[in-house]
Structure 1
Amino acid sequence: MTEQISGFVPHDHHHCITSALDTAADQCRERGVQFTPVRKRVLEILLEAHTAMGAYDVLARLDAEGLGSKPPVAYRALSFLVEQGFAHRIEKLNAFVACSHPAATHSPAFMICRSCNTVAEADMPETFGAPAEQAGFTIEKTVIEAEGICQNCKDSE
């Protein structure tokens, strides 16, 4: 298995978190946008596990840490992280997950374990590109979310 699907395989999670935070800080500096303490903390919260989190789950953590108790605090931070490519919104779960490769321009596809809600990100296969181009259709955004069961959950059943 490759690093692209690290949510389902053992990996150096500390390095995963540190690398993503460093990349986000560098990209914010390059883009001239602010990586505020709340935005950084929200990204850290999303990076703590490869599971999708709802905005209110994130808000509860921020509130417990004294960083804000009003929904706009979490929603603004999550919106910023999605806009900057540091996080993705998982439509099926109405939740958010940290991006596995924030430095790359990519079209992600998500594998969601229906048992533990672990989310793994992979590069989307280019299956629509040629037919869309032949039809004169310009793809602006795609969201692929596959639901199934991860190996850990399968082994424990």
Structure 2
Amino acid sequence: MESAVTHPFRAAVEADDHDAVHALLADDVVFTSPVAFQPYEGRPITAAIVRGVSRVFEDFRYVREIAGADGRDHVLVFEARVGDRRINGCDLLHTDDDGLIDDLVVMVRPLSAANALAEAMGAQFDRIAREAREESERTAGA
């Protein structure tokens, strides 16, 4: 079912509002990347990855939003560019009882664009890991 209301995650990503993205993630969110074998667990690393993706994607735009009947599942279909590669993909979101995203799966195509994304994100990963570590240290000390 196509959604008439924009999901808050979509609005936050489109506004490049990383604080809002962070606030929408559950502490125990699981992020499944299209280019990594193991999922990432937790708000700090997931928020850092979303920030990293925003630095890598060019001409990013959501083109469609689909909501499940129970309102807890959403599919956000997007288009972007990584270097000279056009990429199509979707963000699969699931929200918990509090309305926070507890599961985020990203899928992309074609393979050549997924490979370009993997390479570009690999170049970002030291920064992503540092940002996640710094956030974890801040929240542990709070």
TM-score normalized by the length of structure 1 = 0.23
Q: Which has the higher strand share?
A: 2
CA radius of gyration, larger in: 1
TM-score normalized by the length of structure 2 = 0.25
